Structures are given as structure tokens and as C-alpha cells.
């Protein structure tokens, strides 16, 4: 219903789709280039995540302040243009069209990834709050599900396209397609019409404004609990970061098969999001969030123990289903429990938690894999994720009792 009657929301979903497609192609090719052309180690892949996470985390609070003070649509467009320029640079680098003194190929990939981390800080603060300026409050839950669906479609196609083209023709054409998708996304963003934004007080000092956002999150046990669950759970259970090494050294697969495994979680998530678009988890929402995180940890353990391609694919597929439910619930919590004038700062704080869990989690997985071995590291991470879900369920009873129906 919301897709049928809200044209700006359709533009928003389409823009998200093309941009996510471009981002996943970009991330896949950079990771494969690093691993197959420069450094075949889990640690090098983990370090790539750290180079993206560092600027992302450092700038997130500032980007949240900017998102609450300035036009979020404009911030999104400028950031995507930056991603486009980065892809042009990566294309030129892959084709040896530019040579940077004293920088080898691996160092160039790390440097570009650092720049992408800066851009991500601003998109993470501006894009989620923009949704509340496009759809009415009563449609937020379903809109969040459709938004996640577009993300997952991009996540399915991006890694598969990127890995397949890299395995057959190399990085060059993938980066060209990458650039085209970013440009299409920019045009679609420009077509979006939004309601007026409730902006933060421009007279307020930046650090005072940021402190208000932090204070709001710390005082709201449900929001803080949901953020902590994501950060700690995925920080240790980010086994997907080790997938290039796992597919090569354990499963002995060609690069294109890595792409199929990489898209398995997003296929599961996509199918789940289509169900959630009709059947929103309004009842026992908090319990479902915690159970899904525990299941995510168990599935990471099973991935570490897997020795066949098909078993790994199925495990990753189901892990995507569990992850999607938790993503939709967390997004609804952030949107419905935060005032519009503070959504940018709260989204920025949430993005710090997500950045810590994803990018630093990738580094942590690489570090642990180097210390105790690849398979033990994956099993260890999954075990800690299960433990985190249990501990937060005990320590934050308000999250466990949370019901989405009470905030519609």
C-alpha cells in the first residue's frame, strides 16, 4: 500500500537499491583485489575493515550533528557523489591509469577505504532519519521493512556480480558498473520530496548538541540495549569478514563461488523481509530480537564447522533470515522512540555501534584467526554472540518486554 501511494518513497527505495548494489560491488571487488592480488591473509582483510571503521567512528557524532542541522537529502547526495568519485579512482587504479608515488596497490586500497569510511559516517547519520520525512509515522514499521528489502536485494546482486565479473574479466568492468549505479542513485535521490525537517538549534554549541544525543541514548534503556546487542553480538560474530579466506582455504572454491556464498545471507534476509512487510513483529518484539541474535551466533558456529559448499550456503542463508528480523526491529526502535530533531545524532550514535560491530569486528576476526586459526576463530566468535544475547536479555528486561504495537 505504501509503495503504491507514495511516489517519493518509491524513489527512496529505488535509490537505496542502486546505491546498495554499487556499494556491495565496490566492497566485494576491493576485498577480492586485496586478497588475490596483494595479500592472501585473514589479517589483511581484517585490517581493511579497520581502515574503514576508524574515520567512520571518529566522525559519526559530528555527522549526526550535521544531519540534525542541515538538509539530510543534500548530505546524502553529496556523500554518494563522493562514493562515485572513489569508484572512478579505483577504476583508474585498476587500469594503471594513475601512479601515486611510494604507494603500492595494497596501500591505495587501504587509503580509498579510509575515504569511504568518512563518507559512510555522513550517509549513516542522514539516510535513516530521512525516512521519517517521507512516510507517515504509522507506516514506519512497514517502510523500514521495504527499506531493508532494497538493501538486501543490492546485497544479493552486488557480491554475485562483483565476484563473477572479477573472476572472469577482472576489476575494471565491475568499477564501471559501480559508477553507473551510483549515478542512477543520485538522480533518484534528486526526485525525492520530503516533509519539513525539525532541525536542531543552530545556536547551540556543537559539543553541547552532541552531548544531548548521547544523554538521550544512555537514558533510554530500550535503545541502548538494542544498540549494545548489535555491537557486541556482531563484533564477535562477524564471520562473513573471513569468508574470502574460508572459501579458499577450507572449501577450496574459486572467487566466483565466494560471491555466491557472500550473497547467501542476503537471499535469506530478502525472503524474510518480504514476509515482514506483511507480518510486522508487533508482539513479543523484544524477545524475537534477542532470540534472533542468539540464533545468529549458533549459525556462525555451524559455519565454522562446515566443510562443504552447500552446507555453508544453507547456514549463511538462515543466518541472513535471523539478521533481517533483528535489523528491522532495531530500525523501528530508533525511528519510533526518537524525536525528529534528534534523529540524526541518535542515528550517528547507532552507526558507531554498527561500525564497531562490523568493521572493527572484521579486524577482530582477522586478528583472532591469526592467533588461534581460522575455524576456531569463527566458532569462538559465534559462541560469544550467543552469550551476549543471553546476558543482555538478563540485564535489560525492558528490551525483553518491548512490544512494537505500543509505539505505532
> Taking all residues of the chain, what is their mean pLDDT, rounded to a whole number?
83
Predicted local confidence at residue 200, as pLDDT: 65
Predicted local confidence at residue 18, as pLDDT: 94
Summarised one tens digit per residue, pLDDT across range 364-391 is: 777 788 888 888 888 998 899 999 999 9
The Cα–Cα gap between 292 and 216 comes to 26
Predicted local confidence at residue 356, as pLDDT: 60
| Domain-located, residue 199 | no
* CB contact at 8 A, 20 and 155: yes
Which of 290 and 356 is assigned the larger pLDDT? 290
Summarised one tens digit per residue, pLDDT across range 19-68 is: 999 998 888 888 888 878 777 776 777 788 778 888 888 888 888 888 88
Sign of the C-alpha dihedral computed for residues 291, 322, 247 and 24 taken in this order: negative
| Domain-located, residue 201 | no
CB atoms within 10 A of CB 394: 9
DSSP 3-state of 357: helix
3-state helix, strand, coil in the chain (%, to 5): 85, 0, 15
* Average pLDDT rounded to a whole number, residues 323-343: 82
What share of the chain has pLDDT > 70, as a percent? 92
The Cα–Cα gap between 321 and 272 comes to 6
Predicted local confidence at residue 408, as pLDDT: 63
DSSP string computed for 95-122: TT----TT--HHHHHHHHHHHHHHHHHH
DSSP 3-state of 403: coil
Summarised one tens digit per residue, pLDDT across range 64-108 is: 888 888 888 999 999 999 999 999 988 888 777 666 655 567 788
Please, which residues have CB within 8 angstroms of residue 203's CB and are 6 or more apart in sequence? none
Query: Among residues 124, 111, 147, 132, which one has the least CA distance to residue 30?
Result: 111
The Cα–Cα gap between 124 and 207 comes to 19
Predicted local confidence at residue 185, as pLDDT: 95
Predicted local confidence at residue 102, as pLDDT: 57
Predicted local confidence at residue 203, as pLDDT: 65
Residue 147 cell numbers, joined: 527499506
Which of 268 and 370 is assigned the larger pLDDT? 268
| Domain-located, residue 277 | yes
Kindly indicate the confidence band of residue 355, based on its pLDDT and cuts at 50, 70 and 90: low
| Domain-located, residue 202 | no
The Cα–Cα gap between 194 and 132 comes to 9
- Tell how many helices (H) and how many strands (E) occur in the chain: 17, 0
CB atoms within 10 A of CB 95: 12
DSSP string computed for 214-254: HHHHHH-HHHHHHHHHHHHHHHHH-GGGGHHHIIIIIS---
* Average pLDDT rounded to a whole number, residues 145-165: 79
Predicted local confidence at residue 191, as pLDDT: 92
| Domain-located, residue 205 | no
| Domain-located, residue 287 | yes
> 111 vs 30, 89, 173, 355, CA distance in Å?
11, 11, 21, 18
Question: Quick one: DSSP state of residue 200?
Answer: -
Q: CATH number of the domain at 146, please.
A: 1.20.1250.20
Predicted local confidence at residue 358, as pLDDT: 66
* Average pLDDT rounded to a whole number, residues 223-236: 83
Predicted local confidence at residue 298, as pLDDT: 94
Summarised one tens digit per residue, pLDDT across range 161-211 is: 888 888 888 888 888 888 999 999 999 999 999 888 776 666 666 777 778
| Domain-located, residue 281 | yes
* CB contact at 8 A, 326 and 289: yes
Total domains in the chain come to: 1
| Domain-located, residue 203 | no
What domain range is 66 assigned to? 2-192+210-407
DSSP string computed for 134-181: TS-GGGHHHHHHHHHHHHHHHHHHHHHHHHHHHHHT-HHHHHHHHHHH
Predicted local confidence at residue 52, as pLDDT: 85
pLDDT at position 1 over 70: no
> 139 vs 9, 136, 273, CA distance in Å?
11, 6, 15
Summarised one tens digit per residue, pLDDT across range 274-321 is: 888 777 777 888 899 999 999 999 999 999 898 888 999 999 999 989
Question: What region does 168 belong to: left with phi over 0, alpha with psi -120 to 50, or beta?
Answer: alpha
Summarised one tens digit per residue, pLDDT across range 248-263 is: 888 888 776 777 887 7
CB atoms within 10 A of CB 98: 10
Amino acid at each position: 500500500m505504501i509503495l503504491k501511494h507514495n511516489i517519493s518513497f518509491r524513489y527512496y527505495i529505488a535509490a537505496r537499491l542502486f546505491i546498495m548494489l554499487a556499494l556491495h560491488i565496490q566492497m566485494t571487488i576491493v576485498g577480492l583485489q586485496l586478497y588475490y592480488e596483494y595479500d592472501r591473509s585473514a589479517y589483511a582483510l581484517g585490517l581493511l575493515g579497520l581502515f574503514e571503521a576508524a574515520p567512520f567512528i571518529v566522525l559519526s557524532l559530528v555527522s549526526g550533528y550535521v544531519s540534525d542541522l542541515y538538509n539530510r537529502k543534500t548530505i546524502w547526495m553529496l556523500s554518494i557523489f563522493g562514493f562515485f568519485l572513489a569508484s572512478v579512482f579505483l577504476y583508474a587504479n585498476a587500469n594503471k591509469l594513475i601512479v601515486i608515488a611510494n604507494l603500492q596497490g595494497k596501500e591505495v586500497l587501504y587509503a580509498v577505504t579510509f575515504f569511504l569510511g568518512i563518507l559512510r559516517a555522513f550517509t549513516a547519520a542522514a539516510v535513516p532519519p530521512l525516512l521519517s520525512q517521507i512516510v507517515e509515522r504509522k507506516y514506519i514499521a512497514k517502510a523500514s521493512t521495504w527499506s531493508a528489502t532494497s538493501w538486501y536485494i543490492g546485497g544479493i546482486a552486488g557480491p554475485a556480480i562483483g565476484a563473477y565479473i572479477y573472476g572472469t574479466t577482472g576489476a575494471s568492468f565491475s568499477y564501471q558498473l559501480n559508477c553507473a549505479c551510483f549515478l542512477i542513485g543520485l538522480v533518484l535521490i534528486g526526485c525525492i520530496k520530503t516533509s519539513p525537517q525539525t532541525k536542531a538549534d543552530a545556536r547551540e554549541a556543537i559539543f553541547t548538541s552532541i552531548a544531548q544525543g548521547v544523554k538521550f541514548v544512555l537514558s533510554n534503556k530500550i535503545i541502548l540495549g538494542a544498540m549494545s546487542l548489535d555491537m557486541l553480538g556482531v563484533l564477535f560474530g562477524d564471520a562473513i569478514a573471513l569468508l574470502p579466506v574460508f572459501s579458499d582455504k577450507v572449501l577450496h572454491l574459486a572467487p566466483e563461488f565466494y560471491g555466491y556464498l557472500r550473497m547467501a545471507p542476503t537471499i535469506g534476509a530478502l525472503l524474510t523481509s518480504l514476509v515482514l512487510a506483511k507480518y510486522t513483529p508487533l508482539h513479543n518484539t523484544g524477545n524475537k530480537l534477542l532470540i534472533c541474535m542468539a540464533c545468529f551466533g549458533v549459525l556462525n558456529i555451524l559455519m565454522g564447522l562446515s566443510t562443504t559448499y552447500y552446507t555453508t550456503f544453507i547456514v549463511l542463508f538462515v543466518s541472513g533470515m535471523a539478521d533481517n528480523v533483528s535489523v528491522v526491529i532495531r530500525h523501528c526502535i530508533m525511528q519510533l522512540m526518537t524525536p525528529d530533531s534528534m534523529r540524526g545524532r541518535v542515528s550517528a550514535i547507532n552507526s558507531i555501534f554498527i561500525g564497531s560491530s562490523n568493521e572493527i569486528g572484521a579486524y577482530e576476526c582477522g586478528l583472532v584467526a591469526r592467533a588461534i586459526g581460522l575455524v576456531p576463530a569463527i566458532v569462538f566468535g559465534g559462541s560469544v554472540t550467543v552469550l551476549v544475547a543471553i546476558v543482555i536479555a538478563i540485564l535489560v528486561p525492558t528490551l525483553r518486554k518491548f512490544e512494537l504495537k505500543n509505539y505505532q
